Chain A
Amino acid sequence: MMHTALIVDDEELARRLIREFLGKHRDIQIIGECENGLQAVEEITHSNPDLIFLDIQMPKMNGLEVLTETGRRAGVIFTTAYDEYALKAFDLHAVDYLLKPYSQQRFDEALEQARLQLGREPKAVAQLIDTTRTTRILIRDRGQTHVITVEQIEYVEAQDDYIQIHTQGKAWMKTQSLSDLEAQLDPAKFIRVHRSHLVNIAFVKGIERISKDAVVALMQDGSQVPVSRAGHERLRAVM
């Protein structure tokens, strides 16, 4: 049975090496190569390959962020040269990875392992992704893809089935639940002040009571974000 594979690495030689190592595995068909995280997100969503060779350190979006963004957990073979934080996280969750430079033998072992688990979502990878803090968020807007860093986010507002992310006078729409996003962000910096509102404390100027039972957070850009009673407690605890 043929399996499809996607190679993601920003260095051409690194991609060519994987291509070469895959040469003797006749049952693997390479369906594409990506040189950054953004392309990888597009390609994974579009063609859903069986196997992904995924470099961790990449421009625009790193490997883990690609997985967070696409929700992909199965059939991932991580490759990395050296990334202290990633390696620590891998070891912590017992996730297998290829350390560059690697031999054909080591490559074959990792591939064999991935092939055995094909289609299954390894628990270790799921845990790794869940504990990974996002630093960037991908937004698709009329066929264009934008990347914003989490530091740019001022506050987030939940609408019916999407969220609105406010950054420097712009509002970005994204289909995701507020709780999902909240889980990806650093709880020391982002506070759920209301059932439908999340604020970045770096942009909160102050808390103001506007009526007997209505409290708002004053943002640096002048906007007001509603704060619930529980939210008020949480906000006061960190400010």
Chain B
Amino acid sequence: MHPIFSENRRLFGYLSVWLVIGCLAAALLVVGDYCPWASALLFSLPVFLLYGFVALSAYYVCRSLPLKERRLPQLALTFGATSLASGALLTEAAAAWMSTIAVIATPWSQFEFTHHLQAAIFGIGVVLYLLSIFGHDVLIAFENLRKAERRESELQMLAREAELQMLRTQVNPHFLFNSLNSISALTSIDAAAARDMTIALAQFFRQTLAMANFEKIPLSSELALCESFLTVEKIRFGKKLDAKIVADTDLQRSLIPPLVLQPLLENAIKHGIRNIAEGGIIEVNVTQRDAWLHIVVENPVEPDAPQASGNGMGLQNIRRRCVNLYNERARVTWKQTDNNRFTVELTIPFEMGT
């Protein structure tokens, strides 16, 4: 069914436009000295109101020729034929109505339905139908646009959900198997340490699973995850690895996307600390400035080491996630300074959780 019938307000609006058109037609009759106002209105209003319903058929005509598949000859033929037919219909209807009112209505000032008048009504009918086609085209295009927009936002939501799902199952296999190998080695060297490492590893995965369900989590949860992660990594890398995390107690409840800080630490170890013979310290600073939360991760890198080429992927991912989540109101930057330090800075809107 035509979408206009789905809403009364729309239908009334549309019909009042046709009443105005009817009035204009009556005015033409008065100006043309065919008859006085009362008779002109009695004649034109019902005819044009009826034609308003006829013009709605343009919706189906437009729909039968989707915008993308239109070719000129076919277009001219369809639109031309339907408008001409509608114009003829209008003329016939006008003639029939005129003979009807001549019988039923008094007072009625009879006037002649000249060829001249017939041609004028026919022409008006064709033009109005073409306008209706045009209007429907615009309406359909607008509707399609809205549908596409809705579909896009749905897709975006799905993508975000898929991303969270992926995070939840995102286990770095290299980290897992190496940790298990370390535990295997520890069992005969230091059984208690092996147990501690097993527990830290389990805790790390449990925390990952728990927080990946949320779009945002309190900073304290992410920091707890980082602690478990560092506990495991410190056993693997021994004295080489140390970390200093500084975050105000007031900021513990501030909200951040899950799993953004932990991958930064992983990065710092993989591309920084691990390559340095004597190891190094990862420094994390979380601060609030005005409406923004800043997270800075800094680590030393091997001076001689080539700038890791694979480095970008993980960081790019974090940047994309933050930018998407905060609608462009987030910034993730990284740089390697001359004194062989690598810094990642993450800036997101400051939000306090409950």
Contact = CB atoms under 8 A, between A and B. Distances in A.
Chain B contact surface mostly: helix
A81 B175 CA distance: 8
A17 B194 CA distance: 13
Nearest to A152: B306
7 contacts: A13-B185, A14-B185, A16-B185, A83-B174, A100-B180, A146-B304, A147-B305
Interface of A: 10-14, 16-17, 20, 35-36, 57, 59-60, 81-83, 99-102, 135-136, 146-149, 151-152
Nearest to A57: B174
A135 B274 CA distance: 18
Contact of B275 (A59, A83, A151): A59
B311 to A, nearest CB: 12
B339 interface: no
Interface of B: 173-174, 176-178, 180-186, 188-189, 235-238, 274-275, 277, 302, 304-307, 309
Contacts of A10: 274
Given A13-B236, A59-B275, A101 B306 contact: no
A100 B181 contact: yes
Contact of A17 (B177, B184, B238, B275): B184
Given A11-B237, A13-B235, A59-B274, A20 B188 contact: yes
Nearest to B272: A59
Contacts of B305: 59-60, 147
- Tell which of A12, A13, A20, A100 has the most Cβ of chain B within 10 Å: A13
Contacts of A82: 173-174, 176-177
Contacts of A13: 181-182, 185-186, 189, 235-236
B177 A101 contact: yes
B63 to A, nearest CB: 51
Given A82-B173, A100-B181, A12 B238 contact: yes
Nearest to A14: B181
A11 B233 CA distance: 10
A147 B306 contact: yes
B309 A151 contact: yes
Contacts of B236: 11, 13
A14 B180 CA distance: 10
A81 B306 contact: no
Contact of A100 (B178, B237, B304, B309): B178
10 tightest A-B contacts by CB?
A17-B185, A149-B306, A81-B177, A100-B181, A59-B275, A13-B185, A82-B173, A101-B181, A101-B184, A81-B178
A102 B184 CA distance: 8
Nearest to B307: A149
Contacts of B307: 149
